[in-house]
């Protein structure tokens, strides 16, 4: 949880970069509380590294609360928009796959469709793998967002 102030994302990204940590995914948007945003980001590293990341994050004045949710009982989701090349012949097959993955078709044009998929990282990766042979033209992924189940983790 961070205060909604100009430059917070810059401070956070700068800290992570100069301390040599590696972010593989980052999302940020308004939270349930006014003037606060919730950030979810994925950092790879051992426990000592993660503890350092948490301690360094707390040194940023606007950072109010940091939770390492790796080992928590969490719901994690990611949204992806995938533009796939289509031909009149393979379109029904793609539509079927979309259904199997409980994803949606957002746009259909003469030679491509845009698919919206929500799920954990594996689900998005699997759909991408299956669509790969058809020709993926563009992908936009939001990165992972997560919340701990049950208890309130607000500030």
Partner 1 sequence: MKLTGAQIVCESLLLEGVDVVFGIPGGAILPLYQTMSSYPDLKHILTRHEEGASMAADGYARSTGKVGVCMATSGPGATNLVTGIATAQMDSVPMVAITGQVGRAALGKDAFQETDISGITLPITKHSYLVMKPEDIAPAIKEAFYIANTGRPGPVLIDIPKDVFTEETEFIYPETLDLPGYKPVIDGDQFQVEKANKLIAEAERPVILAGHGVIISRAYNELLELAEKAQIPVITTLLGRSSFPDAHILFAGMPGMHGMAYASLAIDEADLVIGLGMRFDDRITGNVDLFAPNAKIIHVDIDPAEIDKNVKTDVPIIGDLARVLRQINKIVKPKTHTKWLKRVEKLKIDHPSLRIRETDKLLPQQVVRDLCEITDGKSIVVTGVGQHQMWAAQHYAAKEPNLFLTSGGLGSMGYEVPAALGAQIGRPDKVVWSVAGDGGFQMTMSELATIVENNLPVKFAIFNNGYLGMVHQWQDIFYGKDYYATSYTGNPDFVKLAEAFGILGIRVTEKGQSLDAIRQAMDHDGPVVVDFVLAKEENVYPMIPAGQSTADLMEEKFDDMEVSKRGYIS
Alpha carbon separation from 95 to 23, 101, 113, 121, 123 (Å, rounded): 34, 10, 9, 21, 17
Per CB under 8 A, does 63 bind partner 1?
yes
Per CB under 8 A, does 58 bind partner 1?
yes
Beta strand extents in the chain (DSSP E only):
2-3, 23-30, 36-43, 74-85, 104-108, 112-119, 136-141, 145-148
CB of 78 to partner 1, least distance (A): 27
- Among 1-9, 22-30, 81-89, 109-117, the segment contacting partner 1 (CB under 8 A): 1-9
Residues within window 79-138 making contact with partner 1, judged by CB under 8 A: none
- The correct pick among 34, 59, 73, 150 for binding partner 1 (CB under 8 A) is 59
**Cα–Cα distance for residue pair 82/89, rounded to 1 Å:** 19
Q: Tokens 């308004």 appear where?
A: 30
154: which 2 tokens? Answer: 């607000």
11/77 with CB nearer partner 1: 11
CB of 34 to partner 1, least distance (A): 12
Per CB under 8 A, does 71 bind partner 1?
no
Look at residue 6 and give its three-state secondary structure.
coil
Distance of CA 126 to the CA centre of its chain: 16
10/73 with CB nearer partner 1: 10
CB of 45 to partner 1, least distance (A): 13
Residues within window 12-51 making contact with partner 1, judged by CB under 8 A: 14-15, 18, 48, 51
Characterize the bridge pairing of strands 74-85 and 136-141. Answer: antiparallel
**Contact positions vs partner 1 (CB under 8 A):** 2-3, 6-7, 10-11, 14-15, 18, 48, 51-52, 55-56, 58-65, 155
């Amino acid at each position: 949880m961070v205060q909604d102030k100009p430059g917070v994302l810059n401070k956070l990204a700068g800290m992570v970069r100069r301390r040599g940590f590696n972010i593989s995914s980052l999302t940020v948007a308004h939270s349930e509380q006014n003037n606060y945003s919730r950030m979810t980001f994925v950092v790879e590293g051992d426990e000592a590294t993660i503890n350092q990341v948490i301690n360094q994050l707390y040194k940023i004045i606007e950072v109010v609360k940091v939770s390492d949710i790796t080992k928590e009982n969490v719901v994690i989701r990611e949204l992806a928009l995938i533009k796939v090349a289509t031909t009149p012949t393979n379109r029904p097959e793609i539509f079927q796959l979309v259904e199997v993955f409980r994803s949606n078709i957002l746009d259909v044009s003469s030679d491509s469709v845009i698919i919206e998929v929500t799920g954990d990282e594996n689900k998005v990766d699997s759909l991408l793998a299956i669509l790969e042979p058809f020709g993926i033209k563009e992908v936009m992924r939001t990165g992972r967002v997560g919340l701990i189940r049950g208890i309130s983790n607000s500030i």
